[in-house]
């Protein structure tokens, strides 16, 4: 710190003390205010919705070159080869016949997932925990990059921003359960933009995909992680209603997405990563 700033700081503190004494106050009031400010809670990262993922194909998106992905499983980063769209995911309300309702917090934040391949990445064993249970999962090579996307049923989204706020990019990895237990409660009901009323579904107890919040860099443009504490762990789910065609907008452009099915595709739950080996 320069001599000028040290002197200025001392003068400000002395002036504040003099003002308090002149009005009959004490420096204790200043200390109390400072202490209260220090105790203000830190801003919490945005919550993540459950996501219901549909098989899909798409046209109109322009995949850039030189994309670099970096996350907790690949901290040094890697350059994937990005090809075609594989999945479209809607935020979904999850409820039970008897039990709580997990409502949608960010209804505009969808995910459009592209197939990727890359040079072999380090393999990990990750301990994860969510509403269905907890366990160690073996993580294979990354196979999807999911972009936060606007979605509209009739015509292209008109939002000025290239992507909806409050949702990360995700890199997804196939997983196998090594040990632990996930028990899906009976009577699960799902409701999203394709289902006006809750639909009864069956969900597998065995997770198949782990999606990790990811920093994406294209040239000098960096899309940083906004919530590093929450992953998505995906379980196969039985068929739900769908629309055959929707329109998405994200950082890769605007395109037409053709939905095919959810039959035994994925219900992805917000999931905490406890530790990585």
Asked if residue 95 and residue 22 are part of one domain, the reply reads no
pLDDT for 17 equals 41
Q: Angle, to 10 degrees, between the axis of helix 27-38 and the axis of helix 3-22?
A: 120
Asked if residue 148 and residue 190 are part of one domain, the reply reads yes
Asked if residue 139 and residue 19 are part of one domain, the reply reads no
Give the model's confidence band at 190: pLDDT under 50 very low, under 70 low, under 90 confident, else very high: very high
pLDDT for 153 equals 94
Q: pLDDT tens digit string along 3-33?
A: 333 333 333 333 434 333 343 443 333 333 3
| Number of domains observed in the structure of the chain | 2
Give the model's confidence band at 99: pLDDT under 50 very low, under 70 low, under 90 confident, else very high: confident
Q: Give the Å distances, CA to CA, from 243 to 5, 69, 73, 108, 196.
A: 63, 31, 34, 17, 12
Q: Let me know if residue 44 belongs to a domain.
A: no
Query: Which among 105, 117, 114 is positioned nearest to 48, based on CA atoms?
Result: 105
- Separation of alpha carbons 176 and 207, rounded Å: 7
pLDDT for 207 equals 97
Q: Let me know if residue 46 belongs to a domain.
A: no
Asked if residue 128 and residue 256 are part of one domain, the reply reads yes
- Separation of alpha carbons 235 and 132, rounded Å: 10
Q: Let me know if residue 43 belongs to a domain.
A: no
Q: Let me know if residue 186 belongs to a domain.
A: yes
Q: Give the Å distances, CA to CA, from 105 to 3, 34, 110, 200, 268.
A: 50, 34, 12, 21, 15
Asked if residue 231 and residue 172 are part of one domain, the reply reads yes
pLDDT, average across residues 185-191: 95
pLDDT for 261 equals 84
Asked if residue 17 and residue 123 are part of one domain, the reply reads no
Query: Which among 156, 206, 195 is positioned nearest to 54, based on CA atoms?
Result: 195
Q: Are 76 and 68 in contact (CB under 8 A)?
A: no
Asked if residue 67 and residue 89 are part of one domain, the reply reads yes
pLDDT for 42 equals 58
Asked if residue 86 and residue 32 are part of one domain, the reply reads no
Asked if residue 76 and residue 16 are part of one domain, the reply reads no
pLDDT for 20 equals 35
State the residue range of the domain holding 8.
3-38
Q: Let me know if residue 68 belongs to a domain.
A: yes
pLDDT for 32 equals 39
Asked if residue 25 and residue 56 are part of one domain, the reply reads no
Q: Let me know if residue 246 belongs to a domain.
A: yes
Strand order in the sheet with 199-200: 101-102, 93-96, 188-191, 199-200
Q: Let me know if residue 45 belongs to a domain.
A: no
Asked if residue 192 and residue 100 are part of one domain, the reply reads yes
DSSP-assigned states of every residue in 141-176: ---EEEEEEEEESSS----SSSS-TT--EEEEEEEE
Q: pLDDT tens digit string along 25-78?
A: 433 333 333 344 445 455 678 889 999 999 999 999 999 999 999 999 999 999
Q: What is the four-CA torsion angle of 112, 45, 171, 201, rounded to 10 degrees? A: -60
Query: Which among 76, 83, 43, 110 is positioned nearest to 246, based on CA atoms?
Result: 110
Asked if residue 224 and residue 100 are part of one domain, the reply reads yes
Q: pLDDT tens digit string along 101-122?
A: 999 999 999 999 999 999 999 9
Q: Let me know if residue 254 belongs to a domain.
A: yes
pLDDT, average across residues 186-190: 95
Q: pLDDT tens digit string along 229-272?
A: 999 999 999 999 999 999 999 999 999 999 988 888 999 999 99
pLDDT for 41 equals 54
Say how many CA atoms lie within 13 Å of 33 toward its Cβ. 7
């Amino acid at each position: 710190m320069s001599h000028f700033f040290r002197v200025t700081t001392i003068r400000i503190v002395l002036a504040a003390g003099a003002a308090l004494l002149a009005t009959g106050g004490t420096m204790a009031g200043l200390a109390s205010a400072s202490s209260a400010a220090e105790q203000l809670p830190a801003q919490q990262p945005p919550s993540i919705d459950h996501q219901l993922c549909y098989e899909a194909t798409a046209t109109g998106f322009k995949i850039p070159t030189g994309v670099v992905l970096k996350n907790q499983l690949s901290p040094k980063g890697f350059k994937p080869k990005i090809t075609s769209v594989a999945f479209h995911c809607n935020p979904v309300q999850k409820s039970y016949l008897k039990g709580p309702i997990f409502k949608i917090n960010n209804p505009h934040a969808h995910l459009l997932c592209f197939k990727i391949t890359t040079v072999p990445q380090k393999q990990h064993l990750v301990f994860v925990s969510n509403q269905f249970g907890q366990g160690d999962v073996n993580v294979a090579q990354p196979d999807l990059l999911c972009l936060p996307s606007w979605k509209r049923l009739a015509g292209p989204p008109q939002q000025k921003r290239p992507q909806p706020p409050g949702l990360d990019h995700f890199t997804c990895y196939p997983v196998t359960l090594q040990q632990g237990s996930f028990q899906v409660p009976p009577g699960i009901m799902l409701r999203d933009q394709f289902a006006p009323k809750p639909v009864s579904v069956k969900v597998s107890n065995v997770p198949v995909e782990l999606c990790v919040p990811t920093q994406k860099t294209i040239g000098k443009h960096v899309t940083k992680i906004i919530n590093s504490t929450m992953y998505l762990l995906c379980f196969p789910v039985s068929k739900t209603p769908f629309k055959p065609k929707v329109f998405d907008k994200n950082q890769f452009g605007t395109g037409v997405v053709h939905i095919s099915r959810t039959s035994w595709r994925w219900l992805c739950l917000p999931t905490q990563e406890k530790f990585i080996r």
